[in-house]
Structure 1
């Protein structure tokens, strides 16, 4: 039976849904304050005429879009809101968080942690120490590599996953025959969506299939492969394009890594450092920009958790994701 596993890392929480030795789904939380479930008072700054939508500002100055505003929620008035979607950071801009008026019985509260959110959704979750090996046995390193590169290999081809301001685009690449390539890509796409926590508007660019029967075969296979994954779906058009629209509550893994690759690489390096078993000084070797992305608070937490001295080693020739941690004799 699938089981959620959770790690409380430095600068992030991470969770994977595992069945056997396979990651079925994953989530990462970087601790942004306005996440789904956050309830607080906010002041309406603008209403969009003729609609129930508008904008509001929380006490910390953070702005949010608001849906389902009641008529009495006029500009300048305070209202209790519940955040329904975190901010979605993209290249060049950030989509504001989204919120709705909170229910009359909802008290103000911070957003739940990832562990609390999973348990609140009714999932059984097993909290692990970062030094446990369950994540690694399930393929965490491979998943992180997919999120960083946007490349997902499958038998006969590969997927290229690209977050854009409009949607997440998935391109299929591989040799002919094209009908067979498209059908081979379908299970890889269906598996990649929850594995990489992809939601919102998703465009799948299959190779063009001139024959209607081939397009219909792909549509049927995709519907079967998606199964209970909830999304609206269009049929494949004559150019091979399919669009999915699913619920969006937080950035996908590829979107997070594309927007902040230095922060992602720094968190990966810190996880490696926590897992070093050999005695000695913790030696962090990475690109200088990655080491600069490790905040003083994160380094203090690493020292507290490991009880070790930490030494930074700048290696400009290393790729962002190629940093490593090791123990060296002092």
Structure 2
């Protein structure tokens, strides 16, 4: 039986899909204020990039959205309602703007569904996981998945993956000590499972070992079909062991969420530990100066932690700690 585990954390909500006792999908939704996929928001067309095809809308909240196409009667300066179908995504050098289209006439401004609403919409049972109960996310490997997403390394010496994010596509390099005829299917299975667990979307390239014949390559490709749920499109495995997968892109994947702001990621992980530490009451959070500065800047996070624990929260800096090495006492 499958179920979603849902955790309403401080600064972010977390969800994990559990099937047959294994964590097969994970999602994090940060409270970053950005416009969400599925929202209908009002803004003004401020720039035309390609006449009638592409332009920039500045939303009432200040965020800019790329729209395609531009309806014939919409000119620069016009107020429009935009339907968002891809959220903004942090990329090194030049972040991708959110993307949308001018909504149909009669559409009204409305927020996007929350992570919890999207979970309920799947029809799979949702189990809330409050901090005072057993840490079911961690029991199913949440911490290990976070490490994999941050490091980009998955697997063992026999078969492993290295994941690289580029502006053009996500590249997954398969390596290991197994013979190519075994490593190909094993690597394809690991890659498909990682794609699902981390919510990797868009264009994804998997570099499998070079296999001797078409039958071996077909066996490897079949592992993708078996372990990666539809919808997606893929090529065949070519003679060099390369296969490309396309999945619809609506929001940042788990790797992008965690890497976009490493200090925020470490601060939120520390708050998660603090929520679950001991039996509640006052607590002291000791962390690297960058983490303490971030927590002080987002004072509402600390206020929420104090309310949930039922006691005052103190912050203490320690220059000797790495950003991920904070602790609670």
Same fold (TM over 0.5): yes
- CA gap 1:120/1:53 in 2 versus in 1, 3 angstroms: farther
User: What displacement does 1:13 show?
Assistant: 0.7
Deviations, residues 1-53 of structure 1 (Å, cap 9, x unaligned): 21112111111011111124311111110123301122121111233435533
- Runs of 5+ unmatched residues, structure 1: none
Contact (CA 8 Å) 2:157, 2:177: kept in 1 or not? no
User: What displacement does 1:121 show?
Assistant: 4.6
Establish whether residue 28 from structure 1 lines up as the match of residue 31 from structure 2.
Answer: no
Counterpart pick for 1:185 among 176, 184, 187: 187
Q: For the residues of structure 1 that align with 2:233 and 2:320, how far apart are their CA atoms?
A: 45
Q: For the residues of structure 1 that align with 2:164 and 2:283, how far apart are their CA atoms?
A: 35
Counterpart secondary structure, 2:194: helix
Counterpart pick for 2:316 among 306, 309, 313: 313
Per the alignment, residue 235 of structure 2 pairs with 234
Contact (CA 8 Å) 2:6, 2:13: kept in 1 or not? yes
Q: Output aligned runs, 1:124-143, within 5 Å.
A: 124-132=125-133, 133-143=135-145
Establish whether residue 75 from structure 1 lines up as the match of residue 76 from structure 2.
Answer: yes
Counterpart pick for 1:167 among 146, 166, 169: 169
Q: For the residues of structure 1 that align with 2:203 and 2:21, how far apart are their CA atoms?
A: 30
User: What displacement does 1:167 show?
Assistant: 1.7
Counterpart pick for 2:326 among 305, 311, 323: 323
Count of residue pairs brought into register by the alignment? 325
Q: For the residues of structure 1 that align with 2:110 and 2:161, how far apart are their CA atoms?
A: 40
Q: For the residues of structure 1 that align with 2:38 and 2:124, how far apart are their CA atoms?
A: 17
Deviates more, 1:58-67 or 1:303-312: 303-312
Counterpart secondary structure, 1:267: helix
User: What displacement does 1:68 show?
Assistant: 3.5
Q: Output aligned runs, 1:91-102, within 5 Å.
A: 91-102=92-103
- CA gap 1:57/1:252 in 2 versus in 1, 3 angstroms: same
Task: Please give the TM-score of this superposition, normalised by the length of structure 2.
Answer: 0.91
Contact (CA 8 Å) 1:155, 1:184: kept in 2 or not? no
Q: Output aligned runs, 1:111-122, within 5 Å.
A: 111-122=112-123
- CA gap 1:175/1:42 in 2 versus in 1, 3 angstroms: same
Counterpart secondary structure, 2:274: helix
Q: For the residues of structure 2 that align with 1:51 and 1:212, how far apart are their CA atoms?
A: 46
Q: Output aligned runs, 1:1-330, within 5 Å.
A: 1-31=1-31, 32-49=33-50, 51-132=52-133, 133-154=135-156, 156-226=158-228, 228-278=229-279, 281-294=282-295, 295-326=298-329
User: What displacement does 1:210 show?
Assistant: 4.8
Contact (CA 8 Å) 2:34, 2:88: kept in 1 or not? no
- CA gap 1:245/1:7 in 2 versus in 1, 3 angstroms: same
User: What displacement does 1:57 show?
Assistant: 0.9
Deviations, residues 51-72 of structure 1 (Å, cap 9, x unaligned): 5332211112211011243211
Q: For the residues of structure 2 that align with 1:104 and 1:269, how far apart are their CA atoms?
A: 46
Deviations, residues 150-201 of structure 1 (Å, cap 9, x unaligned): 2211572211122222222211121141221121112211211121111111
User: What displacement does 1:122 show?
Assistant: 4.2
Contact (CA 8 Å) 1:52, 1:67: kept in 2 or not? yes
Backbone CA RMSD of aligned residues: 2.1
User: What displacement does 1:280 show?
Assistant: 5.7
